[in-house]
Structure 1
């Protein structure tokens, strides 16, 4: 690995508090103030109307019940604050020609960002029928939270978005991923004060520790303190000004506060504070890029405190609305209260003075239309927010050059993940200049045997390094594993992929479950993007799960959970793929395929421990391309009907199946055994359910229609039954993990879960009634071996020599 410059200790004093005080002179002239307020009012009007109106979009006549949607759903509380922020960002983007994207962290503020997109024209560009006039306005209002329309949160359907606003907590991590290796990009990330209470978001405040001011862009967090969640006050909003400031300064930020509710005053405060933040970002970057000093600075952030539901009704039915939790969703209910509430709704909507903001034909007046930036500087049209526009193929070596030389099945041992690491190292090397490939792992890169990558890059780390203690730390490192947070790694990677780059996440198998929900959100994002022709393809989200359930000699019960595969299997078939390569050559083939794919979530489960190697590279490529197949060299049924099908999926199940087959062929040589290995788990589903699935004819050819199938599977057995329940052959018996085992030997883990070779032999004999009593002695012998095994490990702490030294003899 190239020598690295030692970074200086972090002082975080490069921008002392006094240097950033805003000027007493108002930053906005009267004309600018008039224009920015008009634009804000226009966006608020459009946002509110999306909640309610089907007709009469310009209020050209008195509002009637017939103008309203019959079911009014959506959210209002966060929207005026987000419109306020977006409007002020537009001002500095246009003034300074900034490259900026917007991430909406608060839940269900989609109507605000849609309003902004419609005003600047980016919405009409991707949805030509939603014209920027009265007819288009009417269509826009109807489609919000309406059957066949768009969700109430910021979603893939929203131009300019890379962040789904439905589930809270991921906005800031996405923002950091977006600006990594994008030195000119600023990601303005609005964090809701309810969202700020989630675990993933709380971790993400530390993302500033990994932003290199020389090579990366900047994240500008804007914490929106509007005071309430759905029904409760938020924690941050009830903290004192001093406590909030101390919190963020303790996290390494330089916070500035904008607080109040009077529009003219707030516009001046916000303009001054945004100007300060942009100056600070430019100053930090200029210093770092001219001096070469990547020491961590204090990046600016903004705390915006406004009433929830700002500019909305002050009171409804005698209850305080603006500034309370009641403003969270629809502020004025209709239904049975329509007649009573209709005048209040009309008064509210007219308070924005739409006649001053829109021409008679519904087009924005020049004061409004001339305000936002143009072209790709509009945040709704920024190419970083449609990352496939920027995606470039990775440079990759030929994975076959990294093959393990397999002279005969099982003749050599290798560590599958270590072999893969040498390939990943060279992928990294080939793409160092392009700066479009990263590895993400919560402190587990070396533990998962990918340490070869440290020959060409290091772990991203900007703080002080301790000589003779720290290893492989680098302020420009391409490996993101210096934060022990699966949430942050996942969010950072997603943001990186969504803005047009490549990467993968390697994790301990059990703890990938921490990001179950994040995976779900991304899978849903991809599913919706596949239905939007204007969304361009992005690189797949790739997981490599090592440290798996079957090797727990020093971890234990807490490290055993193969259930991520079950979770993934439930998602849309056009998005998810799952691979369980049995050896290193198969792992190389699978990984090469996954890292080059687009618009999928790929999950690979692999071994990091020394394992027998089964297939030559030529055999592995054929096997992985087909995803499933008969291993002829392990079978003896060629030209005849098999008596039993021994199926296996995963590295350990494959090993134990082959060991069981060797026993059966020795003890019962007349038995005809077919060995089927599964790499692509979705091959088991019918082709009508998954594009990788086998037809019934293909499945029956492999597994027969009625012969017993003894299936050794890596994870929970129920998944195999779920994938195959429609198949003809119901004579299926699956062995897998069943929540047994703690600190014990590798083989004992298999015994405790009945997936070991001895139990597989017993299972097979019991499923073959034609053997009669001929199998009784073999069953007894296997039971004796199980007793011998238990005693041996308790006396010696290691597995039986015949298990440790077993070799396939064919």
Structure 2
């Protein structure tokens, strides 16, 4: 149906209103409706913001409003360009959502004044799209992730359409370039739709963009090759562009409807080719054509603040006034400062407004997972170390049933970059296949159009999909190799910042936690070598606000089950769990594991010898392999130096080490001193880089007695035990560390230290000859 001219004229007026508000936010602190001649005192002292992308996004938003109203669509808006803040704030204000969540910013002249002044102003709001803006699930710092978030949002959301504006600068990022392939994972029978709108305005901050400088034919072929059907809307004449945009959106909507109808009626089994829009408009569209004799509109100069000095430069002040008045605000707002009724009626109503859509405030829709009892999956542990099991293989059976228990709700998925089987979560494939809409070959396994497991060999996509899934009110788990989770460092940063900010916004509801399970970890990457050995993600995580991040190092399968159960039930955290996948000794039965994990740290009395006296040494450990090596060292010390009183402390919740004043999980100084004492040597075997333990404990009374062993960037293709030897975290080095720190070592201690040095030489000779660890290492068992 062709959009009539009256509607197009109203859309143009609405667009002018949004553009006016966008310019006003950047420049003005008073005179919001230009009812007086513009004066220097009306201008902000610091002018900050980004104009270039705003008019194009205002244009898109206004047209989407029409599409939503006419078709009763359930749609959210994702702003990919890095700094489209003025546009999103303007549009959510015009539709009324902004004033509903911030009643002090009313729909009148005083409300406009406050809206303008707060923008990029101390005590106000950021210049980019941020959590403070209603309707947003994606902020300006997340450049490159918009399309991934959009797909994550519509998985298992069959009625939802995510309109995703992709900036042409953003399109140059690796994450975004790969995200176009997400259409191979979208099931039209059970998922919603993503409508990408590639906004080509030609420039980044100071350079042309790649996609804006290739031919129409090449651009068309590129996106057809990605599996999309592109619709082009190009030009700079507003009247013509309104007609083109309205027509393109109507065609796109018809195609999306037909795709869903065919898939949900069983008529279509092939992967569809989804429509997209390529919008080419000038950067800084409708702004000043020239400033100071240089072309502005349609150039990189329009990117941020085009008119730079209106407060002290009379020519600039006059040009700014002409620019603001060019939108004819007197036609758009009534005497009270409210948008005129005919224009206000263009916006959708209630939850259909993109700023008020509950999917953009996912905590409103969040429902707790139905959880099986994790205790039912316990490994039978008689005496410590007697049983052997793969921690992640065991946990896979628990996750399998989490999938089954929530199959009807369709609110839980597992994401990972082709590593779910490698990380030994095999059992999950008993409950679900991988979702895959591409071609299939006869020998393929675990592929289906409808699956709970999402795998693509791009950590960026897995993270982005999961974030979009969580932000719209669902639950999930990201499993990955430990070394390569660094690929999403920046994405983790931004999500953690989002959680931190939204936790203090009253109208935002808490969402499910972002849960990482990192396996194939540093100590058991002996077969892949140095490139796969890096535990530094932990260090990166603990830089974030303490109320957001949690790090867990379960020593065995039962502890991992307990931790996984806790993390999947939690809200508004980033939980990092690190666990091994290879068969390893099991230390705690389930009742003991549950108690230990609930406390997060504790003395293992069954391994300690200090019950009747103060310890001579504290042997602490965090991580599965450090725990194994610590207990092996303790067994050597008990056999050769039984007079030494040893206290063994295992740490599951790493943040217990930090002060209670720094982290809500932290121990008080009194609790810490009771465990580690005030003056006893502490030998700490730690999973990651050793300096993090020093950083977490530097304020503690006994910190000067801490000696930490961990990974120190030594690795190669070798044996499992040799990895610990290369980094001096093995049992033989730990025994020597104890001997070096106990007072007045005995003759037995001197001979034992030499024996440990000899064992290290034997180890090197043995592995070089046999290619495996010595029998006394391979076959070692804990003896009570």
TM-score, normalisation: structure 1: 0.96
CA contact (8 A) 2:109 2:336 kept: yes
Is 1:178 matched with 2:181? no
Is 1:487 matched with 2:448? no
CA contact (8 A) 2:640 2:748 kept: no
Shift of 1:337: 4.5
Q: Residue 781 of structure 2 aligns with which residue?
A: 807
Shift of 1:339: 2.4
Shift of 1:292: 5.3
**Pairing partner for 2:210 from 235, 239, 242:** 235
Shift of 1:367: 2.2
- In structure 1, the residue corresponding to 2:34 is in which secondary structure? coil
Closer/same/farther in 2, CA of residues 309 and 799 from structure 1, 3 Å limit? same
Distance 2:142 2:430 in 1: 39
Closer/same/farther in 2, CA of residues 742 and 159 from structure 1, 3 Å limit? same
Shift of 1:30: 2.2
The correspondence of residues 382-421 of structure 1 with structure 2, limited to 5 A, is: 382-421=357-396
Distance 1:316 1:295 in 2: 53
CA contact (8 A) 1:294 1:475 kept: no
**Pairing partner for 1:647 from 615, 620, 624:** 620
CA contact (8 A) 1:552 1:745 kept: no
Distance 1:167 1:339 in 2: 38
Q: Residue 9 of structure 1 aligns with which residue?
A: none
Is 1:276 matched with 2:251? yes
CA contact (8 A) 2:618 2:648 kept: yes
The correspondence of residues 119-138 of structure 1 with structure 2, limited to 5 A, is: 119-138=94-113
Shift of 1:164: 1.2
The correspondence of residues 387-466 of structure 1 with structure 2, limited to 5 A, is: 387-466=362-441
- In structure 2, the residue corresponding to 1:326 is in which secondary structure? helix
Is 1:54 matched with 2:20? no
Return 161-170 or 286-295, whichever deviates more. Answer: 286-295
**Pairing partner for 2:448 from 474, 484, 501:** 474
CA contact (8 A) 2:151 2:194 kept: yes
Cα RMSD (Å) of the superposition? 0.9
CA contact (8 A) 1:107 1:166 kept: yes
**Pairing partner for 2:529 from 547, 550, 556:** 556
Distance 1:528 1:630 in 2: 37
Q: Residue 642 of structure 2 aligns with which residue?
A: 669
- In structure 2, the residue corresponding to 1:699 is in which secondary structure? helix
Closer/same/farther in 2, CA of residues 394 and 407 from structure 1, 3 Å limit? same
Q: Residue 727 of structure 2 aligns with which residue?
A: 753
**Pairing partner for 1:631 from 604, 609, 624:** 604
Q: Residue 728 of structure 1 aligns with which residue?
A: 701
Shift of 1:242: 0.4
Distance 1:211 1:275 in 2: 22
Q: Deviation per CA, 1:481-519: give whole Å up to 9, x if none.
A: 1x1000000000000000000001000000000000000
Shift of 1:335: 6.5
Q: Residue 219 of structure 2 aligns with which residue?
A: 244
- In structure 1, the residue corresponding to 2:523 is in which secondary structure? coil
Q: Residue 749 of structure 2 aligns with which residue?
A: 775
Q: Residue 741 of structure 1 aligns with which residue?
A: 715
The correspondence of residues 252-291 of structure 1 with structure 2, limited to 5 A, is: 252-291=227-266
Q: Residue 664 of structure 2 aligns with which residue?
A: 691
Closer/same/farther in 2, CA of residues 624 and 89 from structure 1, 3 Å limit? same
- In structure 2, the residue corresponding to 1:771 is in which secondary structure? coil
Q: Deviation per CA, 1:59-88: give whole Å up to 9, x if none.
A: 001000000100000000000000000100
CA contact (8 A) 1:212 1:294 kept: no
Shift of 1:149: 0.6
Shift of 1:769: 2.6
CA contact (8 A) 2:515 2:568 kept: yes
**Unmatched tracts of structure 2, length 5 or more:** none
CA contact (8 A) 1:214 1:292 kept: no
Is 1:97 matched with 2:72? yes
- In structure 1, the residue corresponding to 2:714 is in which secondary structure? coil
The correspondence of residues 294-693 of structure 1 with structure 2, limited to 5 A, is: 294-334=269-309, 337-467=312-442, 469-481=443-455, 483-693=456-666
Shift of 1:197: 0.1
- Counting matched residue pairs gives 783
Is 1:766 matched with 2:744? no
**Pairing partner for 2:49 from 69, 74, 89:** 74
Shift of 1:772: 4.7
Following superposition, which runs of at least 4 residues in structure 1 exceed 4 angstroms of deviation?
A: none
CA contact (8 A) 2:310 2:317 kept: no
Shift of 1:465: 1.6
- In structure 2, the residue corresponding to 1:677 is in which secondary structure? strand
Distance 1:323 1:777 in 2: 80
Shift of 1:551: 1.1
**Pairing partner for 2:765 from 771, 791, 795:** 791
Return 379-388 or 764-773, whichever deviates more. Answer: 764-773
- In structure 2, the residue corresponding to 1:770 is in which secondary structure? coil
CA contact (8 A) 1:606 1:651 kept: yes
Shift of 1:34: 1.4
**Unmatched tracts of structure 1, length 5 or more:** 1-22
Q: Deviation per CA, 1:335-355: give whole Å up to 9, x if none.
A: 675323100000000000000
Shift of 1:552: 2.3
Distance 1:805 1:661 in 2: 16
TM-score, normalisation: structure 2: 0.99
- In structure 1, the residue corresponding to 2:220 is in which secondary structure? helix
Distance 1:289 1:137 in 2: 46
Distance 1:560 1:236 in 2: 37
Q: Deviation per CA, 1:527-564: give whole Å up to 9, x if none.
A: 00001010011000000000000012320000001000
Distance 1:783 1:292 in 2: 72
Q: Deviation per CA, 1:549-600: give whole Å up to 9, x if none.
A: 0012320000001000000011000100000000000000000000000000
